[in-house]
Chains A and B, each alone.
Chain A
Amino acid sequence: AQSVTQLGSHVSVSEGALVLLRCNYSSSVPPYLFWYVQYPNQGLQLLLKYTSAATLVKGINGFEAEFKKSETSFHLTKPSAHMSDAAEYFCAGGSNYKLTFGKGTLLTVNP
């Protein structure tokens, strides 16, 4: 079965610190991977996507992720956290028309 695992349901960082959110996928997940962000009472917004064109993917708001096939990982990073980054982040793997999501990681940014 396809699975996407996010390590850490809650990550807390200080403003200006590095953000690292971890995501591993099962090898049965097709190689289309995504990171979405969800703010309270809102839907999901796409941060970035991996579609095999390049292993380092740059997204919106300064986020990027690196696809590592050998580690089956797709971790999300941002060099310097901002207060506005506080939200829940979801890693997802997709086959056509259906996404398998991780459980989500709630990011808290402390002043």
Chain B
Amino acid sequence: KAGVTQTPRYLIKTRGQQVTLSCSPISGHRSVSWYQQTPGQGLQFLFEYFSETQRNKGNFPGRFSGRQFSNSRSEMNVSTLELGDSALYLCASLGDNRYNEQFFGPGTRLTVL
């Protein structure tokens, strides 16, 4: 089985721009979660999508949004970028088992200048 893929791997944007990141989960996985990783705050949960619906949300401003398509692929959007949005954005897909084993992609490194 192919793993979780994220595109692009690296992005450079300037303040005020918006960005869209993509995540393709493992085939058959219907849940996709997004995390932000920064040196200061560590790994923080952004949101989780299941069957095209946002099911859980972390404590991030409304500038962070996402969606999921019928094929379970997910996108994350950040509008009006700020310098503090520079981070590694990880997505994880979850299989239908009760033990919450998430499989992570390699991440997208976003740099905001």
User: Which A residues have a C-beta under 8 Å from some C-beta of B?
Assistant: 32, 34, 36, 41-46, 49, 51, 90, 92, 94-104
Contact B94 A97 (CB under 8 A): yes
Which residues of B83-101 are within 8 A (CB) of A?
A: 90, 92, 94, 98-101
Q: Write the B29-45 contact mask toward A (1 if CB under 8 angstroms, else 0).
A: 00101010000001111
Contact B106 A42 (CB under 8 A): yes
Please tell me which one of the listed residues B44, B100, B104, B105 contacts residue A94 in the complex, with CB atoms under 8 A apart.
B100
Complex CA distance for A3 and B90, rounded to whole angstroms: 20
Complex CA distance for A44 and B106, rounded to whole angstroms: 7
Question: Using a Cβ–Cβ cut-off of 8 Å, how many residues does chain B contribute to the interface with A?
Answer: 27
- Min CB distance A49 to B, Å, is 6
- Min CB distance B37 to A, Å, is 9
Complex CA distance for A94 and B100, rounded to whole angstroms: 7
Contact B50 A97 (CB under 8 A): yes
- Min CB distance B66 to A, Å, is 13
Complex CA distance for A45 and B106, rounded to whole angstroms: 10
6 A/B residue pairs, CB under 8 Å, sorted by A: A43-B107, A44-B90, A45-B104, A90-B43, A96-B100, A97-B31
Q: A90-B43, A100-B45 are in contact. Are A46 and B56 (CB under 8 A)?
A: no
- Min CB distance B104 to A, Å, is 4
Q: A46-B101, A94-B100 are in contact. Are A99 and B45 (CB under 8 A)?
A: yes
Say whether B102 faces chain A, with CB atoms less than 8 Å apart: yes
Contact B102 A99 (CB under 8 A): yes
In the complex, chain A residues whose CB is within 8 Å of the CB of B48: 97-98
Say whether B63 faces chain A, with CB atoms less than 8 Å apart: no
